[in-house]
Amino acid sequence: MSLRSLLMAAAFGLSAQPALAQEPSTPPGSVYKPAVAPAARRPFFGELHLHTTLSFDAWTFGTKITPDQAYRFARGETIMAPAVQVRKEQGIVTTDAVPARRAWPLDFTAVTDHAEYLGAVAQLDVPGSPFSKSPLGIQLHAGGMGAFFTAAAAVVEGQNNAATPDLRAAAAAADGWNVEMKAANANYQPGKFTTFLAYEWTSSPNNGIHMHRNVIFNGDHAPAPFTAVDSNKPEDLWKYLESVRRQGIDVLAIPHNSNLSDGRDFDWNMSDGRPIDAGYALERALNEPLVEISQTKGTSETTPELSPNDEFANFERFDHIYKGETKATQHGGYVREAFGRGLVIQSQVGVNPFKLGVVGASDIHNGLSTSDEKAYASGFGGIDPKTMLPTGEAARAALDMTGTSKTVRPNGARENDPLQYGSAAITGVWAEENTRNSIFAALKRKETFATSGTRIRVRLFGGWDFGPRTLQRADWVAGAYAKGTPMGGDLPAKPGAATAPVFLVQAMKDPDGANLDRIQVIKVWLDGKDYKERAFDVALSGGRKDDPRTGRAPGVGNTVNLTTGTYANTIGATQLSAVWRDPSFDPNTTAVYYARVLEIPTPRWSTLLALKTHLPIPARVSATIQERAWTSPIWFTPPKS
């Protein structure tokens, strides 16, 4: 172990783990039973949303990276990005493949190619394939956004599209699902690097509204995917998931880009327009225990419109759905509001459909999963900044200096603003070991957190009798599991003498990144037929205190040098922690709590790209950002009277 790893392990009470042999998958309905106690759980970071050349849209963008290459890149190997890909996606003039390596390896990854006509369009790269000779294949091979919209229309329109027969035949020839399964299994290294069989169900009603889900399996095989061509209703996807469990394979689905769902992801109603009932709520809670809170197409935590008193709500927003410049509906599209609406629906039907843990991901479409600001240059791809940095017109386009956002697409809509894209997020889990069973169990119990791309490590526990010195004990983690509940769970029943729940939260900075500004606890609670919310500063760096008049703390400061693109860890803290008691607790009111951790300001990707390519720093987006982490919540439900 490195010195940094040893220091992190000591701070969190962790120890190194040996390599492990592959074991049978934990079947549905069974609880994973590791050989170690919960206190031995460690943080692992991974990717649960990634596309390769087998996705119909990724291919049209120029991607040639395969699932196997994507896994090898994710685990830290150097791969060779094909020249044709980097020419088209990064504008690099080359006839040779370009080496690409991730700055630091991930612990787990799921390639989630679009299930719709999986691998079909990549058949155009197979010399002499029937698809390459078809009229549709010839049109797609010509490229451009027209090719993308032709393929996308076939997905959205399903059986009613004239291209469907050719695409279906090409997908059968590609045998894409077997390719995906073989790549995942070949790259699984228990104890070192975990892969998951996975795909994306790409429901896009009205050709631009996102209702997408990533489907993650726990096993080394799975039946053929259920696609949006089969049905674009989540309820039908859930029936498929339930049929998979009956075959002995555990599985879950993760909604993403709720910010682009035009208010549909967390609507009050079911797909048929009727109000959510108990049956729907139960099905959704079973099949969708998690939600993706951040990725390249924006952060879905909340917005200033929905959370006007949250000074940090305006973070990496992407608020225009894929009809171009059509502004998405805010209500029903963001996770914090989903937490509140879930409490309201629970009060009405007895079940919370939005009892969600959080994950982060990239949704990168060129197979290169990156999350550092310097390893991103807008759009759909990750880069190795040492070998793949866009220059010239490609860099100008990424910074919207060529009028890209004013371009009219073939469907008549305007192009999306490249400056609204953000660098990728990642998922953190607390698991006993780096294996499919252990990490999947963490996903199911929602002992997960998301970060905007850095390796912030954060823990959250809730209980009733944690003392103010709890975090000073060497065995505090074991005590927290024994006496309370970790993120993703429910507070235990309130003892008669308890007055309010107590939360333990601890965060440590990225070993190679910026110091921490603060930890906040976000509380959402039921208020009649609606909900309310409030953010509490529970740990502040530098000895700062909230101003009693405003309830806000002074800013942490900003050390970013906008000439060099550097910053200094002379402010902030390497670690923050708090024992926090809810000062406004009502034992008769349902509530949900989660933690948010902020770093000190650092340069945004757009600033770094501008400086590296000697272009002006874009003025209409922030030059700096405060990277952050979000924990899954802990819920409190009063006992039934």
pLDDT per position as a tens digit, 510-537: 999 999 999 999 999 999 999 999 999 9
- What is residue 160's predicted lDDT score, i.e. its pLDDT? 66
Cβ(552)–Cβ(536) below 8 Å? no
pLDDT (average), residues 72-97:
96
- What is residue 166's predicted lDDT score, i.e. its pLDDT? 86
Cβ(580)–Cβ(536) below 8 Å? yes
Q: Please state, in angstroms and rounded to a whole number, the distance separating the CA atoms of residues 166 and 136.
A: 8
Q: Please state, in angstroms and rounded to a whole number, the distance separating the CA atoms of residues 497 and 517.
A: 35
- What is residue 416's predicted lDDT score, i.e. its pLDDT? 79
Selected residue with higher pLDDT from 14 and 588:
588
Collapsing DSSP to helix, strand or coil, 172 comes out as helix
- What is residue 474's predicted lDDT score, i.e. its pLDDT? 95
φ and ψ of 637, to 5 deg: -125, 120
- What is residue 1's predicted lDDT score, i.e. its pLDDT? 42
Angle subtended by helix axes 164-174 and 135-142, to nearest 10: 80
Taking alpha carbons only, the member of 433, 569, 456, 599 closest to residue 40 is: 433
Determine the longest span between alpha carbons in the chain, in angstroms.
Answer: 77
- What is residue 10's predicted lDDT score, i.e. its pLDDT? 45
Q: Please state, in angstroms and rounded to a whole number, the distance separating the CA atoms of residues 207 and 321.
A: 10
Torsional sign, CA 436, 439, 443, 445: positive
Question: Which residues touch 301 (CB under 8 Å, ≥6 apart)?
Answer: 293, 294, 313, 315, 334, 335, 336, 596, 630
Selected residue with higher pLDDT from 413 and 365:
365
Asked if pLDDT for residue 463 goes beyond 60, the answer is yes
Mean pLDDT value across the chain: 92
- What is residue 14's predicted lDDT score, i.e. its pLDDT? 44
pLDDT per position as a tens digit, 421-435: 999 999 999 999 999
Which DSSP category does 142 fall into?
Answer: H
Q: Which of 130-134, 251-255, 411-415, 461-465 has the lowest mean pLDDT?
A: 411-415
Asked if pLDDT for residue 500 goes beyond 50, the answer is yes
- What is residue 414's predicted lDDT score, i.e. its pLDDT? 65
pLDDT per position as a tens digit, 4-21: 444 444 444 444 445 566
- What is residue 405's predicted lDDT score, i.e. its pLDDT? 72
Q: Please state, in angstroms and rounded to a whole number, the distance separating the CA atoms of residues 637 and 346.
A: 10
- What is residue 145's predicted lDDT score, i.e. its pLDDT? 64
Which DSSP category does 413 fall into?
Answer: P
Other CB atoms within 10 Å distance of the CB of residue 585? 16
Give the rounded distance of the alpha carbon of 390 from its chain centre: 25
Give the rounded distance of the alpha carbon of 4 from its chain centre: 26
- What is residue 562's predicted lDDT score, i.e. its pLDDT? 98
pLDDT (average), residues 233-239:
97
pLDDT (average), residues 28-43:
96
- What is residue 153's predicted lDDT score, i.e. its pLDDT? 74
pLDDT (average), residues 243-272:
96
Residues above pLDDT 70, as percent of the chain: 92
pLDDT (average), residues 472-493:
96
Asked if pLDDT for residue 412 goes beyond 90, the answer is no
pLDDT per position as a tens digit, 375-389: 999 999 999 999 999
- What is residue 403's predicted lDDT score, i.e. its pLDDT? 79
Asked if pLDDT for residue 408 goes beyond 70, the answer is no
pLDDT (average), residues 88-113:
96
Burial 405-442 (b: 16+ CB within 10 A, else e): beeebeeebbbbbbbbbbbbbbbbbbbbbbbbbbbbbb
- What is residue 13's predicted lDDT score, i.e. its pLDDT? 43
Asked if pLDDT for residue 64 goes beyond 80, the answer is yes
Query: What region does 37 belong to: left with phi over 0, alpha with psi -120 to 50, or beta?
Result: beta
DSSP string, 226-284: P-TTT---HHHHHHHHHHHHHTT-EEEEEE--GGGTTT-TT-SB-TTSSBP-HHHHHHH
Question: Which residues touch 41 (CB under 8 Å, ≥6 apart)?
Answer: 430, 431, 432, 442, 447
pLDDT (average), residues 102-107:
98
pLDDT per position as a tens digit, 240-250: 999 999 999 99
pLDDT band at 581; cut points 50, 70, 90? very high
pLDDT band at 409; cut points 50, 70, 90? low
pLDDT (average), residues 94-99:
96
Give the rounded distance of the alpha carbon of 160 from its chain centre: 32
pLDDT per position as a tens digit, 321-336: 765 556 788 999 999 9
Q: Please state, in angstroms and rounded to a whole number, the distance separating the CA atoms of residues 339 and 511.
A: 32
> Which two structure tokens, joined as six digits, stand for 50?
């990634």
What is the amino acid identity at position 311? E
pLDDT band at 307; cut points 50, 70, 90? very high
- What is residue 11's predicted lDDT score, i.e. its pLDDT? 46
Asked if pLDDT for residue 349 goes beyond 80, the answer is yes
pLDDT per position as a tens digit, 175-202: 999 999 999 999 999 999 999 999 999 9
- What is residue 410's predicted lDDT score, i.e. its pLDDT? 61
Angle subtended by helix axes 335-349 and 278-287, to nearest 10: 140
pLDDT band at 23; cut points 50, 70, 90? confident
